[in-house]
Amino acid sequence: MTESPLSRRALLGATAAGAASATLIGGTATAAAADGLVDVDVDWPRFLADADLIWKRLPQTWYEGPFLGNALLGSGIYAEPGANAIRFNVQHSQVQDHRPQFGSLFGLARLPIGYLTLEPVGAITGIDWRLDLWNAELRGTVTTAAGSLTLRAIVHDDRSVLAVEVNPSEGERGFRWVFHPAKAISPRADPVFNKPPPEGYTANPEPSVARHGDLEVIVQPLLAGGQHVTAWQETRRGRRRTLYAAVAWSFPETTAEREAVRMVRGAARRSFTALTPGHRAWWHAYYRKSFLSLPDRRAQAFYWIQLYKIASAARRDAPVMATSGPWLEPTPWPAVWWNLNVQLEYCMIHGSNHLELDAVTRSLDRYRRNLVDQVDQRYRADSAGIPRTTDMTLLNSGGTGTSGFPVGIPGQASPTPEVGNLTWALHNVWLSYRHTMDLTILRDVLYPLLRRAVNYYRHFLAPGADGRLHLPFTFSPEYGVNAPDCNYDLALIRWGCQTLLETVEALGARDPLVPEWRKILATLADYPVDGNGYMIGAGVPFAKSHRHYSHLLMIYPLYEVTWEQPDKRALIDRSLKHWISFEGALQGYSFTGAASISAQMQRGDDAAFYLSELLRRFVQPNTMYKESGPVIETPLSAAQSMHDMVCQSWGEVIRVFPALPASWPDLAVHDFRTQGAFLLSAVRRSGRTEFVRLKSLAGAPCRLRPGIPGPLKVRSASGRRVPWRVLPNGDIEIGMRRGEEVIVHNARHRPDLQVGPAAPGSPAPPWGLPA
């Protein structure tokens, strides 16, 4: 990453001046519906209705059905296997076991809770459902041989209660709800996955079930202490019957029962209609914080479903998402995965202007002690790392009070030396800083943890006969072969050292390790390369089908090797084509990685092709995704690939519409958040960019590649004469103050400064199970 002296000086001043006013991770950043220079004309209920999921057939699995959630409580809805009933799963992202001696996948695994069944009087003969994204509400009817049931369902935004209102016809007044508690054992122990538990591992005790009038309470004690409790009840208001259900968790205390009962009793005092205003207000404000519209209606709907999905699964104060989010289903992956999954799960929050969903920064900060304790004790004084899998507190099986350590040691085969995961996770934190310019993120979280992550590498780097620093063998995630000078790690080391140097400069800090970081950057071994492109590591070519692009991180998402370096283009092209040519083991996120790399290469048609292959081959009817079990990261990362096609802001340059396919001649984006803490709006009509609007939230340097041909005009909403200049490469540099807003357009053409839905292309079927 390079920058001019002007940019660096301005950056230091801007970050210091803007720190107090920058939007914080947990803040409520707003996107103006009618900014000073831009008129936003979006009929939100109508626009989002085009993305609603529709069911005309009863979904049979989680991959087909509606899903509701608020990052803690989650419910997937589909037919109860082998029964005339509809299942409403009841799962919770905090509910896990607490026996670290059995590892993260058994002893610390997320635990299934159970489900409710809606059991009608007559045989189910049909359904007509709509998942209303704008209101985050499932609505529709169930038709039976005895009549019909009209239902509405939400997982309330802040009450963490599942509420389902049912209005039965006369023949269905006798329908009933039944709760089915699940066995409190790691889902990995399910025989279908053939993953035997460790010796000595046993299931938790059976739950107790008690009724207190109209309230049922299911208490699940845990062998390690603590409990999780489900409470539910029905209320009747005329013919309408409303179910309220909640889950509470406590460890090591046994206070969850009181909390679960309190949540249900509090909600049940209100009718379903009375519960919805606050719930709807949160979701309406959430959607309005950014806007994206494109001609491909199915891709556009997919994008907005991902925005719904991530807000249903992630909030700043919720646990970092496990592989299936808050919707736990039978899975061999009942934990948090750190060698790609977490990083991809949260990548879309930045551009979409939703930093309030960033649980990664909060969790790495809050549980940093576990990051230290899970490296070998010889390195704990100055190092930290994160294992491949953890629970919500970032604990694996190591650390204080347990035997062993789960972060491998370079050069030692057991445990697997996969040591770059913390550094990669900190890249997400760095993106949160860059998109807010909030110095507290830089100073309090990124700097101390990245320093430790790079220190861990420093213990193992050693000069070779060539005078360069080399790394003993480590593990490139999931390739299956250890390699010295592993490209996964070399890329992260380079990014880490460069970022630390930039960080101490931005903070005005003095760090005695500055000479060491500079030395590493100057003498670190080159990336191992052969005739096919980037290798796994020295002596280990990329030679088999492999879903993971861990050996290509220097290209994406780190942007250490870029298409803007002409001498690297052939290498990037060769590496991408060779990797993606091995078909057998490719999975969904292989295609999102290929799409984003293609977007960096400015190949919009290629990026669109890879996304279309993802949707065609891997994405399920409700936009969920599976590899043996449910994994949530891939569809979310596809939304980020769309971001990469629409806007890129790496290297301190904002690139507008850098990789649009020919099939997207019209496109509109509003309040897309970029690095440097800018809000971007831009409109493209008939293949021509009409204007670019930028609002500075922190007063950081602004370099823009607007993609507008001809002479340019830059004007401010305030009327101030804005200083700007054209750089030698054609980019423009604009001197924007914090809070200032500017428009860039062709000087010979005064554009219509209106943002609204793009002209639609061909009709497309809705997601779900339409007729």
pLDDT for 35 equals 52
Secondary structure tally for the chain: helices H, strands E: 17, 38
Q: Tell me the three state secondary structure of residue 271.
A: coil
CB 65 within 8 A of CB 77: yes
pLDDT for 212 equals 86
Max CA distance (Å), the chain: 86
- 201/694 Cα distance (integer angstroms): 57
- pLDDT means per 10 residues, the chain with 771 residues, are 30 35 32 64 97 98 98 98 98 97 94 98 98 98 98 96 98 98 94 89 96 94 98 97 98 96 97 97 98 97 98 98 96 95 98 98 98 95 96 79 68 90 98 98 98 98 97 93 97 98 97 98 98 97 91 98 98 97 90 98 98 96 93 97 98 98 97 98 97 97 96 90 95 96 95 95 95 86
pLDDT for 36 equals 64
- 589/604 Cα distance (integer angstroms): 18
Q: What six digits make up the tokens of 443?
A: 């100073």
- 509/174 Cα distance (integer angstroms): 70
pLDDT for 32 equals 37
Nearest Cα neighbor of 540 from 459, 629, 475 is: 475
* Domains of the chain by start residue, with CATH: 1-53+289-329+627-771 (2.60.40.1180), 61-287 (2.70.98.50)
Omega into 81 within 30° of 0, i.e. cis?
no
CA distance between the termini of the chain: 51
pLDDT for 192 equals 86
- The pTM of the full predicted model, rounded to 2 decimals, is 0.94
Q: What six digits make up the tokens of 461?
A: 């780097």
